[in-house]
Structure 1
Amino acid sequence: MQITDIDIRQGTANTPERSHGNCLPYVGVPFGMNYFSVQTNGAAGAWFFQPASPRFEGIRLTHQPSPWIGDYCHLLLTAAAWEDPTKRPDLVGNYRPAEATFNAHRLEVFDDHFNVFTKLVPTTYGAALRYTFTTLETAHHGIALQLPDQGQFKLTDTGIKLAVSDYHGGEDPNLTMYVELTVPNLDVANSGFYDQDNHWHAATSGQGQRLTIMIATKAAQLDCYLTTSYVSAAQAQLNLSRIQEQPLEALENESANSWNDYLNRVSVRDHHPAVVKTFYTCLYRLFLFPQRFYELDIDNQPVHYDTTAQTAKAGVLYTNNGFWDTSKTVYSLFSILAPELLPKFLRGFLTSYQETGFLPRWLAPDERGMMPGNLVDSIIAECAKKGIATQLMPELLAAMRDSDSKAAANERYGRQGSADYDLLGYIPADKYPESVNWTQDYSYSDYCIGQVADTLKQPAVAEKYWQLSKRYLNLLDADSGFLRPKNSDGQFKADFVPDRWGSDYTEGSAWQNSYSAFHDIPGLMVALGGADRFDAQLTALCNTKPSYHVGGYQMVIHEMAEMAAVDYGQLAISNQPSFHLPYLFAYSGHPEKTQVTVKQLRKLFNAGPEGFPGDEDNGSMAGWFIFACLGFYPVCPANAEYVLGIPAFDAVTLHLDGHDLTLTTANNHEHNNFVTSVKVDGHDYHDQLISHAQLMTAHHLDARLGLVPSK
């Protein structure tokens, strides 16, 4: 499937109360610095796009990785026509969503208010735009640029230079994006801007809050080039010089080729076209994040803006990623489909450490401090165990140990409650919220540190951290079968309710958040009383009514509503804490339960605007679906192995580095919910785990499905 076949509006029908992905239709190149999206209602804040709305406010240059994080350094471009500039025109247009083209490499929209056809083709640092005015009935026409916060501009002979500052909550409150936009046949005499009070200024430069800049032109067709930079205005000009001599069509082909390079690493043959389409649309989602936050200087060397020191520095840097989400699926898929990316990403994460003193947790563009733990450790350990970026591992291990041993600098950086954690062996619930999740994630991070140390032949260090990774068991209540919050006095918190959300758990209850010791599922199983007890607990989880007590949230949050809506028991696949749960049955000796559960959960996904059962989150949920279709899943990424599930397709070929791996599925019918046999390179395979090394050296993995489970 080619990028031209993919409609990027998957998962874009959302409200704050209900998420079907909370996605935006990102037009851009893979891992580009900017993305572009139609804006239908800016007054809705972070939910500024609705796929069915015919309202067209313009094309937004956006850096929003999630509506819960918000946007920064954004602006809105609208082709418009107007009569008297002293009377601000209505800049809201109208388009037909069904007739628009929403491809990752090309956006095409016809606005029937201003009778203008807009085509946008993205580049790494900007875009090429073509505006074609089909009728010119008013005195003036051109481009309106709307800035949401502080900005300044200057018109030139060939276009406009902009500086946009719109960032809330980061290290640099004055983070600035510099913009170069070429506009042919500029009509300077009729250009100007409206200030925040809608007063007109016939001026070629200006500054202030919430400016609307009207750039008039005398041409009926405008071929414009836009580039951005966080480094400087001169860097934005350099970025412009590298694209403005290329025709729009050439840039379109370049963007399409970059997408197809990734999509073509997987070839699918199957008789379920809708599932195939969903699979490839999820592949598009997989290769969006993290976004680059670095540029190439005059010598083509990487340079970026350090928001902590508030100056430009050499080196690569990446942003817009929450590792609590993406560490579970995204980077594992990169290790299979695009391993060449991982050394670059890890180098970028090291840059974050070098500039803040801590490895990153949630970048947008710098540390937001969202979500518990520090699961970038999982990505590092996974790469170490898979033999990826081995030259970086000594430095990364030092960064992991340093980041996870220092007292937290503030709520953004470091281990929250680390002193209590080291003293008690758990995060106490009477001092810190979401203490159960913090404890589990710290335990897993310790295991990850041990894994990296092991690859570096440091057995004493590895053993130390492996022992520390067992501390999550201090919260296990074997009688109830859950991890429960404990107070500083060593006593479990009173009045335990298994389906109470928040307070002690992250975006869930004890049901979803008691079995995330990814690194020690066998140990957890033993501590609970054995495989039968573990299986019974998981079975109850899937069959218990999807009830919830609002608990610490004191309101129904969208994750609660989404779990209840699909009614898969307490298995809330709408959110990351449940991603691995279906695969845990395999550890208890019941892979058939994993198989039927995964096959049913796949039905919650499609390629349309309601394509996801919950927040997609930077490729993480798309990654879950991809793994669910391939037939294996990384329960513990740091172990560099996968639990077998149930494949979705008749045949899939993974074009690996050096050879192809073909996955085939016999008897692949809707009524066959169980895997009756597996062969690897023609030999019977009876294990429920397969290592990354086995997978990457195999040529054939053949599964057969059946109507009833096979022993």
Structure 2
Amino acid sequence: ARFSKPFASWSIVPSWDETPMEQLFSRGLEGEYFDNMTLSGTPRATRTDEKIDFEWEGAPISGIGPDNFSVRYRGVLRARTSGTHRFYLTSDDGARMFIDGKLVIDAWYDHGPTTEICSCEMEAGREYEVVVEYYEHTNSATLRLGCIEPKDFDAERLVQMARKGSSAAAVCVSFPTESGEEVEVKIGTSFINFEQARRNLCSEIGDKSFEQLLSDTGEAWEEALGKIRIETSETNREIFYTALQRCMLLPRDITEQGYHYSAFNGKIMPGVMYTDFSLWDTFRSLHPLLVLLEPDRVNAMIEALLNSYDEGGWIPKWPSPGYSNIMHGTHGDAVIADAYVKGLRNYDERKALEAMMKNATTKGTGHYVARVGILDFIRLGYVPTDKYGESAIRTLEFSYDDFCIAQMARAMGDGELYGRMMARAMNYINILDPETRMVRGRNSDGQWRDAKDPSISGWAQGSDRDRETYFRNITLFVPHDVQGLANFMGGNKALEEYLDYFFDNDFYYVGDEYSMHSPYLYNFIGKAWKTQRTIRRLLDYNFTNDSWGLPGNDDCGQMSSWYVMGAMGFYPVCPGIPAYQIGSPVVDRLELSLANGKTFTLIAENNSPENVYIQSAELNGKPYTKCWISHDDIMDGGTLVLRMGSRPNRKWGASAEDILPSVSAPAGE
């Protein structure tokens, strides 16, 4: 940090490092494992560990199942220093902690990944009994114990630490100032080291004033947001551009003058790196939107994913900045395939396909789980519920990711791989239950689980309504074979009735990514007018221009991009297919400035909150009856005119030849 005037005094508040558990628990921590969630009966297994730091994939220990188990750890902590010790207990599902019999952390209930903190005064040399208890209900299993010991520093030591570049929780500086005087502070940051932070300060800010940086930032945002010009009401304008701004925040570039810190191998590496990919969310519409608006950045993001593969062995699922095990599929596959089939190829495509195939064929390491249950998926054609949590959605997502790999293989001319992966892409049918006409868990022996089995989702643990909600939402995640889903249900009419019931009874929630695409599924069965009606209701009702303007978590731009593309009038139901489903635009006119220098224009004539139905359409002056538009049509520029009205035109987009063909081609075709 550089200041515009000298400061009179300064100090730091040092940050304290976590103490290795083996230094506090010299005799380890003895764990007793129970095959129930109540720590009752006789332990089925025991084991002593140096520390508690687990993300269990499958069973935690031989003899105990992956779900509905509990464990009690006991250890003796010998305090090395006197003072306040701070303990951190991270868990997924129920956990509690005792020190000398006193309950100090109580989170004994189902919950998502949560960190509880407590402080305890301890005396140097004294021993304390520490007990940690945990129960796992279903799905993720995480338990981690950490401790920060107290440390004392005198004033001179703090000065020396600051001069040497010690990490700190805060820096305190003071100035003699006149009334109203401003002090300007310029700050440089780096993931690499302090010297790089100083270089970044010079290159990114340098001698520019606060006012100049403010002006430069405004111009940069104007250029970015100006790639889409719209005509609409002022309220819609505010909602649209606020959403578009959020779409451009993440993923973020952490490359520093040609190098990056790698959270995958702990080294400073050459090349580009992006982080904060919320891939389970953002593959759906954020990345397809960036393909249209920021193709150069998309190429760089894919290069970053491949650098992650080189440095850590896998394309990450949710890097922040390193590997995490969040969610189910490996949707870097979808991001890469979608960009590839749309012509973005400024990266090593062979390495990309190699990395995608590793996702599709290789069991994770434990530290990074990749596709949990992938070997059983290959062997059985589905992920078995008796071995893995949330097996139904894993089966559906693995099938979709395999479809994406198939599309890239076909575009690269590998017909054999295309056929093989397309056959696997149809595995989703193996967990669709003919009795309920919805997804349903299956055991390894092929037997169906109970039709109301709450293991369908970690969030479906409440009422029958909660469970039904997730069964119905998850069932619709077959974006790559909508016609196949309709056929399973009994035909297009049956899928139409399913969707009608789904929306009319409020099972749809725009913030639930499983079924974000579902309003557009009517297009695939000749009922485009129902897509138009449904999407406009959702866009107009769920998004506002006030502090409650989003209907839930933005998920790193996914919800905002869902709005932006919906408001523009076309949406990528199935990334990996270079086409977009046409809905009902909120805006009256938009001009999309493309990187190739062309402009795509969409005009919604006679558009209003009441006139949500397409009466007719023209593309470049010629009648257009398709309820979808290809990526090439957009990239070629031109003008799409939609004439809107208050009554549905049930014939527009309804003919079989106007509906995007099914992609469930036979293997090898």
TM over 0.5, yes or no?
A: yes
- The root-mean-square deviation of aligned C-alpha atoms, in Å, is 2.9
Alignment partner for residue 236 of structure 1, among 168, 178, 197?
A: 197
Q: CA–CA distance in 1 between the matches of 2:410 and 2:570?
A: 25
Question: Which whole-Å deviations, capped at 9, do the CAs of 1:478-498 have from their partners, x for residues lacking one?
Answer: 332211111111111114269
Q: Match for residue 289 of structure 1?
A: 250
8 Å CA contact 2:317–2:325 kept in 1: the answer is yes
8 Å CA contact 1:531–1:588 kept in 2: the answer is yes
Report whether the alignment pairs 1:377 with 2:333: yes
Q: 1:340 to 1:512 in 2, by over 3 A?
A: same
Note the residue ranges of structure 1 that are not aligned, 5 or more in a row.
Answer: 1-126, 133-139, 152-166, 170-194, 297-301, 545-568
What count of residue pairs does the alignment treat as equivalent? 508
8 Å CA contact 1:632–1:642 kept in 2: the answer is yes
Q: CA–CA distance in 2 between the matches of 1:400 and 1:209?
A: 38
Alignment partner for residue 304 of structure 1, among 260, 263, 269?
A: 260
Report whether the alignment pairs 1:427 with 2:388: no
Q: 1:489 to 1:654 in 2, by over 3 A?
A: same
8 Å CA contact 2:264–2:323 kept in 1: the answer is no
Q: Match for residue 365 of structure 1?
A: 321
Q: Match for residue 591 of structure 2?
A: 653
Q: 1:595 to 1:543 in 2, by over 3 A?
A: same
Q: 1:387 to 1:474 in 2, by over 3 A?
A: same
* Matched AA of 1:705: M
Alignment partner for residue 227 of structure 1, among 177, 188, 192?
A: 188
Deviation at 1:640, TM superposition (A): 1.2
8 Å CA contact 1:586–1:643 kept in 2: the answer is yes
Q: 1:459 to 1:390 in 2, by over 3 A?
A: farther
Output aligned runs, 1:558-637, within 5 Å: 569-602=506-539, 603-637=541-575
Report whether the alignment pairs 1:254 with 2:197: no
- Kindly name which structure, 1 or 2, has the bigger radius of gyration based on alpha carbons: 2
8 Å CA contact 1:150–1:209 kept in 2: the answer is no
8 Å CA contact 1:290–1:318 kept in 2: the answer is yes
Alignment partner for residue 684 of structure 1, among 614, 618, 623?
A: 623
Q: Match for residue 368 of structure 2?
A: 412
Report whether the alignment pairs 1:206 with 2:143: no
* Matched AA of 2:523: A
Question: Which whole-Å deviations, capped at 9, do the CAs of 1:74-108 have from their partners, x for residues lacking one?
Answer: xxxxxxxxxxxxxxxxxxxxxxxxxxxxxxxxxxx
Q: 1:322 to 1:149 in 2, by over 3 A?
A: farther
SS of residue paired to 1:474: helix
Q: Choose 203-212 or 694-703, whichever is displaced more.
A: 203-212
Q: 1:405 to 1:483 in 2, by over 3 A?
A: same
Note the residue ranges of structure 2 that are not aligned, 5 or more in a row.
Answer: 19-87, 91-148, 651-669
Superposition TM-score, scaled by structure 1 size:
0.67
Q: 1:528 to 1:280 in 2, by over 3 A?
A: same
Output aligned runs, 1:20-31, within 5 Å: none
Alignment partner for residue 176 of structure 2, among 218, 243, 248?
A: 218
Q: 1:339 to 1:212 in 2, by over 3 A?
A: closer
Report whether the alignment pairs 1:710 with 2:649: yes
* Matched AA of 2:360: D
Q: 1:451 to 1:582 in 2, by over 3 A?
A: same
Superposition TM-score, scaled by structure 2 size:
0.71
Q: Match for residue 156 of structure 1?
A: none
SS of residue paired to 2:481: helix
Q: 1:244 to 1:670 in 2, by over 3 A?
A: same
* Matched AA of 1:365: P
Q: CA–CA distance in 2 between the matches of 1:497 and 1:309?
A: 40
Q: 1:315 to 1:541 in 2, by over 3 A?
A: same
8 Å CA contact 1:369–1:412 kept in 2: the answer is yes
Q: Match for residue 110 of structure 1?
A: none
Report whether the alignment pairs 1:639 with 2:577: yes
Question: Which whole-Å deviations, capped at 9, do the CAs of 1:256-284 have from their partners, x for residues lacking one?
Answer: 222111111011112x2111110000110
8 Å CA contact 1:453–1:461 kept in 2: the answer is yes
SS of residue paired to 1:313: strand
8 Å CA contact 1:498–1:511 kept in 2: the answer is no
Q: CA–CA distance in 1 between the matches of 2:592 and 2:8?
A: 50
What percent of counterpart residues are identical?
27
SS of residue paired to 2:480: helix
SS of residue paired to 1:258: helix
Q: CA–CA distance in 2 between the matches of 1:416 and 1:445?
A: 13
Deviation at 1:686, TM superposition (A): 1.0
8 Å CA contact 2:390–2:456 kept in 1: the answer is no
Q: 1:606 to 1:496 in 2, by over 3 A?
A: same
